[in-house]
Amino acid sequence: MTHKIVAIVFLLGISVTAWAQSEAPKKISRRPDIPGTFALELGFNSGQSAPKDFSLGFFGSRTVNIYYQYDLRILKSKFSFVPGIGLSLERFKFNNDNTLAYVDGDLESIRMITPAEAGIVGIKKSQLITNYVEIPLEIKFSTKPDDPARSFKISVGGRIGYMYDSFTKVKYKEDGESKKWKNKEDYNLNKIRYGLTGRIGLGSISIFGYYNLTPLFKEGKGLSDIIDTNTKVKNDFSTLTIGISLASF
């Protein structure tokens, strides 16, 4: 008799559990279903034919891009038009610890000055920082447009950006304490820039490159190249960024 009661209770328990599981409300996902793609890019900057005193360190001269992009598929082809918007945050680290300054208060001319001229000793890092709001526009080819996480992709296009912030930053040590010195100026930098971009990758990872068609400084107001002891010419150089892009779908 006892065995029968145990068996009945066991069967009832299984039945109640199964009923409870079938009646349990389904969990509602709180994750928003946002169309499009968010991209995070990390790249390294170089000055193309820049003056010698604009010598850059590789790891300290970097770019972080944060973009939102949306694929507009062209008919049913493997091509799509990809507009977007985002931020480009750039750093240029100087190898020689020099920094930018205006020439004797002349706001039309700039030059690189040494730590001694800047009146700062014990410099650990010297940087020029430029931040942009940008609109990237690309044409993309995907081998699997309906499965972007497993698709091989190639894209080409361009960007146009507006510089909303710029300053120099110097980290130094004084009396055993680490200190920072910032100077917020535009340094005759171009406020508007545009350039060419391209990327190649698989799934969410790509290698990208960006060449700035606009010189870093305004025409005729940038740094000078010394040709000889008596001759200086303005050097209107551009920048190149190469790095890795990570995308979410």
Confidence (pLDDT) at 240? 97
How do residues 190-204 score in pLDDT, each as one tens digit? 999 999 999 999 999
In a domain, 88, yes or no: yes
**Overall domain count for the chain:** 1
Parent domain of 195: 37-248
State the pLDDT at residue 212.
96
Report yes or no on 182 lying in a domain. yes
Residue 4 pLDDT: 45
In a domain, 124, yes or no: yes
List pLDDT tens digits, range 73-117: 999 999 999 999 999 999 999 998 899 988 876 777 888 888 888
Return the HEC string of 38-53.
EEEEEEEEEEECCCCC
Residue type, 25: P
Residue 15 has pLDDT above 80, yes or no: no
Confidence of residue 227 (pLDDT cuts 50, 70, 90): low
Whether the per-residue pLDDT at 186 is higher than 80: the answer is: yes
Which CATH number characterizes residue 207's domain? 2.40.160
Q: Which residue in the block uniquely carries the two structure tokens 């400084």?
A: 217
Q: Is 153 inside any structural domain?
A: yes
Please indicate, yes or no, if residue 23 is contained in any of the structural domains: no
Higher pLDDT, 99 or 35: 99
Establish if 31 belongs to a structural domain: no
Residue 153 has pLDDT above 90, yes or no: yes
Decide if 198 contacts 211 (C-beta within 8 A): no
**Residue-level pLDDT at 232:** 67
Q: How many CA atoms lie within 13 A of 148 on its CB side?
A: 17
Distance CA 48, CA 209 (A): 14
Is residue 188 pLDDT above 70, yes or no? yes
Most confident of 19-23, 110-114, 158-162: 158-162
Cβ-based burial of 17 (10 A; exposed 0-12, middle 13-18, buried ≥19): exposed
Domain membership flag for residue 139: yes
Identify the burial level of 121 via C-beta atoms within 10 angstroms of its C-beta, where 0-12 means exposed, 13-18 middle and 19 or more buried. exposed
Question: Residue 4 falls within a domain, yes or no?
Answer: no
Predicted pLDDT of residue 152: 97
